[in-house]
Amino acid sequence: MNRRQFISRSAALLAAGSIANQNLFAGTATQKNPGRVGIQLYSVRNQLPNNVAGTLKSIAAMGYAQVEMFSINNGTFFDISMKEVKDMIHNLGMTISSTHTSSGVLPENINAPEWDFWKRIAEYLNTLDAKWAVQSSLPIRSATSMDDLKRITGQFNRAGEVCKREGVKFAFHNHAEVFGKVGNDVVMEYMIANTDPNLVFYQLDMGHTVRGGGDCADLIRKFPKRIPMWHASDYDRAKKEYVWLGKGNVPYAALFDLAESTGLEVLTVEQETEVDTLTACKADFDYIKQFKWTQV
């Protein structure tokens, strides 16, 4: 099951033991985990439905300082309210940076009822004490024409306007397909160049970028301050598969040389593999902590 399918279906899943396990956190210290390394909870998608509390506890024990949510479109996270899940995460010493979410193409009129979607997401983020609403994929299946690109960038600008008005920030998370071209324009570069820099930001997923044939470092240099969020993932071009951090073709040493000067603010690990997931998440944390930027 891919991310799009998981995000659309996970609201229907039940985490029967999750609420009962919340007493595990009674009296837990609230001091934050040190460092600047976060994790997208989609990385542990197979563990969460059965035990939200225990899975979060495992993530905190690895040393992660913050988490990025997903599938909160109905105002809960695996049947746990925003307030309750925030308390669970904070009591484990972590904070919440952002959430992945996704709307389809919305009406041109920003005051149409469908735009209440982004208002609700902003409301949830404010409850979570989080800052970033991240569109997890394109609002259409693929961008194949200039009309598609104009429609997408227009929607992003309006979503950014709604989010800003509600006190949060809007960003877009890429997949591999946005490194294809429409005419002479690379889709990802067109979107960055044609959205309002005060309203629309980007979360560059490194593994997806490599898979799509993009150059992570070149993109960050070309658009400084527009990509304040990174998804630390990795992809092996020869094997054609996602791998643990440091095992693929993402040039992390070169990227972290650019982190400070190009405006990196939020670093989030995402593990795409399905085998030994928790072991992989710990290995990813240990790998990424070697870079100076990750330290407080």
**154-166 mean pLDDT:** 98
How many domains is the chain partitioned into structurally? 1
In the predicted structure, residue 53 carries a pLDDT above the cut 60: yes
Task: Give dist(CA 17, CA 190) in Å, integer.
Answer: 45
Q: How confident is the model at residue 32 (pLDDT cuts 50, 70, 90)?
A: confident
Between β-strands 169-173 and 200-205, what pairing exists: parallel, antiparallel or unpaired? parallel
Give the CATH number for residue 257.
Answer: 3.20.20.150
13 part of a folded domain: no
Q: Is residue 20 part of a domain?
A: no
> What does the pLDDT read at residue 22?
37
Enter the pTM of the model.
Answer: 0.90
Q: What is the pLDDT of residues 119-146, one digit of tens each?
A: 999 999 999 999 999 999 999 999 999 9
Structure tokens that stand for 54 in this block: 């225990």
For Cα atoms 261, 267, 271, give the angle at the middle one, nearest 5 degrees: 140
Question: Which residue reads 């040039």 in tokens?
Answer: 251
Q: What pLDDT does 26 receive?
A: 37
What gap in Å lies between CA 229 and CA 263, rounded to an integer? Answer: 9
Task: Examine the pLDDT at 157 and tell me if it is beyond 50.
Answer: yes
Residue 257 sits at φ, ψ, to 5 deg, of: -65, -25
**pLDDT given at position 6:** 46
| Domain membership flag for residue 254 | yes
Sign of CA dihedral 114, 115, 119, 121: positive
Residue 182 pLDDT greater than 80, yes or no: yes
Per the domain annotation, does 202 fall within a domain?
yes
Q: Which of 173, 174, 191 is nearest to 182 (CA)?
A: 191
Domain assignment present for residue 27? The answer is no
Least reliable range by pLDDT among 26-35, 82-91, 135-144, 273-282: 26-35
Q: For 29-43, 51-65, 70-84, which range has the lowest pLDDT when averaged over its residues?
A: 29-43
Q: How confident is the model at residue 28 (pLDDT cuts 50, 70, 90)?
A: very low
Spatial distance between the Cα atoms of 137 and 87, rounded to a whole number of angstroms: 28
Q: How would residue 27 be classed by pLDDT, with cut points 50, 70 and 90?
A: very low
Q: For residues 220 and 258, what is the distance between their CA atoms, to the nearest angstrom?
A: 8
Lowest mean pLDDT among 29-33, 261-265, 266-270: 29-33
pLDDT exceeds 70 at position 12: no
Picking from 97, 32, 43, 41, the residue whose alpha carbon sits closest to that of residue 228 is: 97
- Burial of residue 157 (number of CB atoms within 10 Å: 0-12, 13-18, 19+): middle
Across the range 186-211, mean pLDDT stands at 98
Question: CA–CA separation, 144 vs 243, rounded Å?
Answer: 29
Lowest-pLDDT range, 8-17, 230-239, 243-252? 8-17
- Residue 296: predicted pLDDT: 74
Q: Is residue 125 part of a domain?
A: yes
The domain of 131 spans: 3-8+33-294
Please check the confidence at residue 41 and state whether its pLDDT lies above 90. Answer: yes
Instruction: Give the pLDDT band of residue 13 (cuts 50, 70, 90).
Output: very low
Q: Is the pLDDT of residue 1 over 90?
A: no
Question: What percentage of the chain exceeds 70 in pLDDT?
Answer: 90
How far apart, in whole angstroms, are the C-alpha atoms of residue 133 and residue 118? 8
21 occurs within a structural domain = no
